[in-house]
Structure 1
């Protein structure tokens, strides 16, 4: 490769199973760009030093995966609004002065997935129910509020964690204990699972969708399996559903554009490539 090759990578610990190199490698090849995207394992004990001196890594930018998103954000001189709100960055780049900048694109990835696969999904003054209160829930709540949802109900088995998000995001959000889910479903436009329940190797997500309007959209951030029990149940009763794979793909778009100067598309060929890597038949 020439000396002008621009290099980016997925950073975190562990990174061996990350599919980010597959995604970015596909786009680099498709657009014929002189660039590289690899993996950089950053152990927890050296994470602070790595991100604080990111310029020494030889990378023009990086994605950040668990458990370093908060550490990376703290090392940035500039953060976008989403990263500020979440205190976590998953996308890094060096600006023209060499200062480290960070963004959180998880919420944008969530929105991009629904925009592509369920056009018109975001009703004005919409009501959403978000199951879970972890980092993914935080990103999705931010995204829904940015899109104009006027009520976001956060349901979590540990009520105190949901309450923290209600406090953070303000009056349009409300925390509820898990046993209130059935009551909330009756006036829901969008139902989102952000928990690991239903993922291969995890416990199933067992809920009764009977109160949910058939007009509601149901989406799950889990993508292994691609069609979770929640999505199967929703489809069976006639609800529109969107799987979680597209969120993974769309969250990668802003970083690639910033590093390599081309805004890529999430197309069927990329989706099929990742599905094949997951061992799933498209």
Structure 2
């Protein structure tokens, strides 16, 4: 049997990771397989115990709701994942499991053109308090952003905020952003604003994220980590109002590249022809 890896979560049917990794394996001519596994929270420990003894299993990607729950089940955790407090990739070698987090770097990838510029002020509004929100917050913090963390449970956002300088991080109730406000943004030159949806809201089968765009600074980049559907209500409204918009597929591909290297010890193809073919496959 050839080597294989997989993505685990609950739910998991929506995951596009098998399409991405299978495409890269075939493109490179590597013998291997990539699957999805529906793992409920109560079965997480037994699932990982069972996989440890399989010499063909290279590891797995981890999605909702397991990114934090897997931490005590691992033998080692990469320092970046340790700082973030969440794991999205588990690498198996010789029966030992090590956790990594590729979400932060994957998230930052499409922001590089803006991040290469100099700004007097960088501010990020991050909606959500799960593993993805944690990684995104750490990624943006490393690039000099002041953080505004918003969640339906403020205590969950406050837990993330505790890892940063309190002078440059603020916590608010997500409901605050659903109410219109009358605010004069004045001059926005010299600043970079990013608004991120790191909640499942807007995902297929979920209600839309309820936010009023009066809270969005002019020119703010609207970034939705949801990738199913690709055009969420949030991004559709953002584009209609003239905001730069980034869809979740770009973050997914960015973090998948890092995970592919970890799982299969190979460099995924990144030539324009392969990228175009993969994106077409993912949006078909």
TM class by smaller structure = 0.7 to 0.9
SS in 2 for 1:271: helix
Q: Could you say which residue in structure 2 is the equivalent of 1:80?
A: 78
Q: Could you say which residue in structure 2 is the equivalent of 1:147?
A: 143
CA positional deviation for 1:52: 4.3
Which of 222, 227, 246 is the equivalent residue of 2:250?
A: 246
Alpha carbons of 1:180 and 1:108: their partners in 2 closer, same or farther (altered >3 Å)?
Answer: same
Q: Please tell me whether the aligned partners of residues 126 and 149 of structure 2 are also in contact (alpha carbons under 8 angstroms).
A: yes
- For 1:15 and 1:213, the matched residues in 2 are separated by 35
User: Where in structure 1 are there 5+ consecutive unaligned residues?
Assistant: 277-282
Which of 257, 261, 271 is the equivalent residue of 2:261?
A: 257
CA positional deviation for 1:249: 2.0
- For 1:195 and 1:201, the matched residues in 2 are separated by 13
Q: Could you say which residue in structure 1 is the equivalent of 2:154?
A: 159
CA positional deviation for 1:24: 0.5
User: Where in structure 2 are there 5+ consecutive unaligned residues?
Assistant: none
Q: Could you say which residue in structure 2 is the equivalent of 1:102?
A: 99
Q: Please tell me whether the aligned partners of residues 198 and 222 of structure 1 are also in contact (alpha carbons under 8 angstroms).
A: yes
- For 1:180 and 1:52, the matched residues in 2 are separated by 43
Q: Could you say which residue in structure 2 is the equivalent of 1:34?
A: 31
Aligned residues: 268
- For 1:248 and 1:139, the matched residues in 2 are separated by 13
CA positional deviation for 1:38: 2.1
Which aligned pairs between 1:6-17 and structure 2 lie closer than 5 A?
6-17=3-14
Q: Could you say which residue in structure 1 is the equivalent of 2:128?
A: 132
1:221 has 2:232 as partner: no
Q: Could you say which residue in structure 1 is the equivalent of 2:240?
A: 236
SS in 2 for 1:164: helix
After superposition, give the CA deviation of every residue in 1:10-49 in whole Å (9 maximum; x if it has no partner).
Answer: 2344544432211110000111112221234445444213
TM-score, normalization by structure 1: 0.82
TM-score, normalization by structure 2: 0.81
Alpha carbons of 1:157 and 1:37: their partners in 2 closer, same or farther (altered >3 Å)?
Answer: closer
After superposition, give the CA deviation of every residue in 1:146-175 in whole Å (9 maximum; x if it has no partner).
Answer: 2232x0111234333322222233423211
- For 1:189 and 1:146, the matched residues in 2 are separated by 15
SS in 2 for 1:189: strand
Q: Could you say which residue in structure 2 is the equivalent of 1:68?
A: 66
Kindly report the root-mean-square deviation, in angstroms, between the aligned alpha carbons of the 2 structures.
Answer: 2.8
Q: Which moved more, 1:166-175 or 1:196-205?
A: 196-205
1:120 has 2:118 as partner: no
- For 1:78 and 1:152, the matched residues in 2 are separated by 29
Q: Please tell me whether the aligned partners of residues 23 and 270 of structure 1 are also in contact (alpha carbons under 8 angstroms).
A: yes
CA positional deviation for 1:251: 1.6
Alpha carbons of 1:204 and 1:75: their partners in 2 closer, same or farther (altered >3 Å)?
Answer: closer
Alpha carbons of 1:51 and 1:202: their partners in 2 closer, same or farther (altered >3 Å)?
Answer: closer
Q: Please tell me whether the aligned partners of residues 197 and 223 of structure 2 are also in contact (alpha carbons under 8 angstroms).
A: yes
CA positional deviation for 1:102: 0.8
Q: Please tell me whether the aligned partners of residues 115 and 143 of structure 2 are also in contact (alpha carbons under 8 angstroms).
A: no
Q: Please tell me whether the aligned partners of residues 156 and 162 of structure 1 are also in contact (alpha carbons under 8 angstroms).
A: yes
- For 1:14 and 1:176, the matched residues in 2 are separated by 28
Alpha carbons of 1:11 and 1:196: their partners in 2 closer, same or farther (altered >3 Å)?
Answer: closer
- For 2:77 and 2:248, the matched residues in 1 are separated by 26
Alpha carbons of 1:98 and 1:128: their partners in 2 closer, same or farther (altered >3 Å)?
Answer: same
